[in-house]
Amino acid sequence: MASIQRRTNGSWRARYRDAAGREHAKHFDRKVDAQRFLDGVTSAVVTGAYVDPTLSQVTVADWSARWLSAVQVKPSTAARYE
């Protein structure tokens, strides 16, 4: 579900809900830009290519530490991976 609304300051708010039901919003100066954004997000959700914006804020260091703790390798290999 997606919608576009004009704000009191003249900008446009594009809102959508992800597969988990959480609402996300982004603001644009032009309505056509908001519509293009929603078209892209909707397409990504339908095709399965959608990436939650909050997950994109994870740093490589955090991700690699999580991955290293989950993988089962010899201690010498783990030391090289670090």
Q: Using one digit for the tens of pLDDT, what is the confidence trace for 18-46?
A: 877 889 999 999 999 999 999 998 888 88
Residue 68 pLDDT grade (very low, low, confident, very high; cuts 50, 70, 90): confident
Question: What burial class does residue 43 get, using C-beta atoms within 10 Å of its C-beta: 0-12 exposed, 13-18 middle, 19+ buried?
Answer: exposed
pTM of the model: 0.62
Phi, then psi, of 18 in degrees rounded to 5: -85, -175
Q: What is the pLDDT of residues 43-60, one digit of tens each?
A: 888 888 887 777 778 888
Of 4, 15, 14, 18, nearest to 46 (Cα)?
18
Question: What burial class does residue 26 get, using C-beta atoms within 10 Å of its C-beta: 0-12 exposed, 13-18 middle, 19+ buried?
Answer: middle
Of 39, 32, 49, 31, nearest to 2 (Cα)?
39
